Amino acid sequence: MGTDEVVETEVLVVGAGPVGLMLANLLGVYGRRAIVLETLDDLIDYPRAVGLDDEAFRLVQTVGLAERIEPLTGPAHIMRLVNARGDVILYNDPQVHDFGWPRKNGFNQPLVDRELARGLDRFDDVELRFGHTVEQVEEDADGVTAIADVRLPDGTTTQRRFRARYLVGCEGGKSPTRKRMGVSFDGLSPSTRWLVVDIANDPLGTPNVWLGADPRRAYVSIGLPQGIRRFEFRLRDDEPDGVVTSPEWVAEILRDHVPDPTDLQIIRRRVYTHHGRVASTFRAGRQLIAGDAAHLMPVWLGQGWNSGVRDAMNLGWKLATVLAGDADDSLLDTYTEERLEHATKMVELSMTMGDVIKMTNPVAVAARDVAAKVVNRVPAFRDYFGEMRFRPQPRYARGVVVDQSTLEAGVSRTQLAARTVPFLQTRDRTSAVGVQFPQPRVATKDGAGLRLDDVIGGWWTLLLWINDPYGLLPPCTLDQLHRLGARLVTVVPENQRPWAEANLRDDVVVVGDTTGRLKQWFDTRPVGAVLLRPDRFVAGACLAQQVPQLVDAALAALCWTGSDQIAGAGARRPA
């Protein structure tokens, strides 16, 4: 194929890392066409990220790969931060399962990434092409044309042209897409370097994570699935890369950490520097960035992989909606509105965590250790860190949201106005909008112990407490929800489920609240109805009589174009 011939698709994804692969899987699930172009000849095969959190696992579930990936992970990945004497400064073992999965899971990235790549085989209109380096991109009013250098099997190189409506750069921190967009990449790149050593056949054979806040040399020791052990060591300025990666130096630094450092199966030895940077915007015209291309995350909270796939989820359903003709192109501006703030907070928190671990000043180290003793003796403080409540949860203040108090489109204020609850008394005035909805186990006529998302699907959902949507809503609102492709769901206590199933229409999904978790959610908020987005964030929440106004506002926030066809015919709702 020469440069005069053009391969056409809807979305061109540049980079076959986890973010690019996840985005391509989402587009496939939503029935869209995509091509992933990767410079390398295969996926990277050495371990990198080691932590998969509950939000990211929920996305794995959304793309239908949980059954493949769950056996590759280690749940309940406990973390202990210890000082030079071995005293535990911070103990982290969250037990909550708000989103349907353990909050922390250990994993080996190459195995999980390979399952994401295999997942693309399910879709006729999604391709992964290796050996393609995008060298030039031309953008016009209708799309982008990318010219790629292609390595052929005989070792020669040719060029191919790809045409798409949008291009998403997922090429990592040195992203050419970000550079073409001309956006700033603000933040810090600390001068401290770290040596990472991955070892097969774990010489310790113990689980979990140890972070050594030793002022002489900070270190990390992580037990991972598949019998892999990771060590990381802080390096001094006078220790050059070529020296510290030598077998002799590695054996010496491991002497205090393993029984026999001369008898190890080393997978890799690499030096890296932590970076904390965030792009000023994630979109410019028809080019967008995601993952490390948009924000570089220090490793300390294990959020690099997770933050990247959060980007993919936020962007994937929006691209699908625009490509289907169901929303105006301006919907894609909400991607930056919603993801930039949270990514920035995660970078800042990760940088702070790194500062705590790598302290060398004796006075600062002593103060840190004293503060840790106080924290660990106060249950409220101890639980705050143990349950990872310090980790900022995404809350969207602007974008595809509707203010709970005013039903104003495109904005969600954190605090409710007093008039929002004219007859309901609640001490917590925090809005339910803009945050991720929980995913407990529920029951339906098809079985018990089901995860909520598997029951209600991965597209838009109107969730009511007990009410019958056909009895509550006017025909015009039901028609709007139908065009949106929204699933109508009513939640009832499990003992009421037989009655509801016998009396509600067949297209209303009746969910039995077997654990009481959903009743608790509705009981502690002035809410009788919830409109859930495809990424399971709450677009809007209101009392039952306000649903028509809520739907109108949500469509406005969505930049809805009023398609005459059901949304499921374009941006397909996952089964």
Q: What percent of the chain clears pLDDT 90, i.e. is strictly above it?
A: 66
Q: The tokens of 575 are what?
A: 């089964």
What number is the average pLDDT over the span 171-196? 87
Per-residue pLDDT, 1: 46
Q: Would you state the torsion angle of the CA atoms of residues 302, 308, 312, 318, taken in this order, to the nearest 10 degrees? A: 110
HSE (side-chain half, CA atoms, 13 Å) at 46: 10
Q: 369 falls in which pLDDT band (50, 70, 90)?
A: low
Per-residue pLDDT, 47: 65
Pairwise CA distance, residues 64 & 54, whole Å: 15
Q: Is the pLDDT of residue 221 over 90?
A: yes
Q: In what order do the strands lie in the sheet with 166-169?
A: 126-130, 34-38, 11-14, 166-169, 287-289, 283-284
What number is the average pLDDT over the span 220-233? 93
Q: Is the pLDDT of residue 10 over 90?
A: yes
Looking at domain 6-73+105-181+280-354, its CATH architecture is 3-Layer(bba) Sandwich (3.50)
Per-residue pLDDT, 212: 86
Q: Is the pLDDT of residue 546 over 60?
A: yes
Task: Give the H/E segment covering residue 96.
Answer: none
Q: The tokens of 424 are what?
A: 């309901």
Q: Is the pLDDT of residue 284 over 90?
A: yes
Per-residue pLDDT, 191: 63
Beta bridge partners of 402: 409
Per-residue pLDDT, 571: 47
Beta bridge partners of 229: 199, 223
Q: What confidence tens digit (pLDDT) does each residue in 228-246 have? A: 999 999 898 899 999 999 9
Per-residue pLDDT, 443: 97
Task: Give the H/E segment covering residue 524.
Answer: none
What number is the average pLDDT over the span 177-197? 86
Q: Is the pLDDT of residue 157 over 80?
A: yes
Q: According to DSSP H, which parts of 182-332 are helical?
A: 241-244, 247-253, 304-323
Q: Give every CB contact of residue 176 below 8 A, 6+ residues apart in sequence.
A: 14, 134, 169
Strands 409-411 and 398-402: antiparallel
Q: Do domains 6-73+105-181+280-354 and 193-273 have the same CATH topology?
A: no
What is the residue extent of each domain of the chain?
A: 6-73+105-181+280-354, 193-273, 398-569
Per-residue pLDDT, 222: 92
Question: Which runs of E-coded beta strand occur in 295-440?
Answer: 295-296, 398-402, 409-411
Closest CA relative to residue 440, chosen from 37, 98, 93: 98
Q: pTM score, two decimals?
A: 0.91
- Which tops the pLDDT comparison, 356 or 489? 489
Q: What confidence tens digit (pLDDT) does each residue in 24-60 have? A: 999 999 999 999 999 999 998 876 788 888 999 999 9
Per-residue pLDDT, 573: 52
Q: What is the DSSP string of 422-491?
A: SS---S--B-STTSBPP--EEEETTEEEEEHHHHH-SS-EEEEES--HHHHS-HHHHHHHHHHTPEEEEE
Per-residue pLDDT, 384: 46
Q: Is the pLDDT of residue 317 over 90?
A: yes
| Arithmetic mean of pLDDT over the chain | 88
Q: 419 falls in which pLDDT band (50, 70, 90)?
A: low
Beta carbons of 458 and 573 less than 8 angstroms apart: yes
Per-residue pLDDT, 76: 81
How many Cβ atoms sit within 10 Å of the Cβ of residue 330?
A: 9
Comparing 46-50, 124-128, 521-525, the range with the smallest average pLDDT is 46-50
Beta bridge partners of 295: 278
> What angle do helix axes 18-29 and 54-62 make, rounded to 10 degrees?
40
Q: Is the pLDDT of residue 564 over 70?
A: no
Return the CATH class of domain 398-569: alpha beta
> What angle do helix axes 547-557 and 475-484 make, rounded to 10 degrees?
40
Per-residue pLDDT, 489: 98
What number is the average pLDDT over the span 270-290? 91
Q: What confidence tens digit (pLDDT) does each residue in 457-486 have? A: 999 999 999 999 999 999 999 999 999 999
Pairwise CA distance, residues 433 & 537, whole Å: 8
Per-residue pLDDT, 501: 96
Task: Give the H/E segment covering residue 212.
Answer: strand 209-213
Burial of residue 163, with CB atoms counted within 10 A of its CB: 0-12 exposed, 13-18 middle, 19 or more buried: middle
Q: Is the pLDDT of residue 575 over 60?
A: no
**Residue 263 DSSP code:** S
What number is the average pLDDT over the span 295-324? 87
Q: Report CA torsion sign: 154, 156, 161, 165.
A: positive
Q: What confidence tens digit (pLDDT) does each residue in 50-107 have? A: 888 899 999 999 999 999 999 999 888 888 888 888 888 877 777 777 888 988 888 8
Looking at domain 193-273, its CATH architecture is 2-Layer Sandwich (3.30)
**Residue 291 DSSP code:** G
Q: What confidence tens digit (pLDDT) does each residue in 344-364 have? A: 887 777 766 666 666 667 777
Q: What confidence tens digit (pLDDT) does each residue in 501-521 have? A: 999 999 999 999 999 999 999
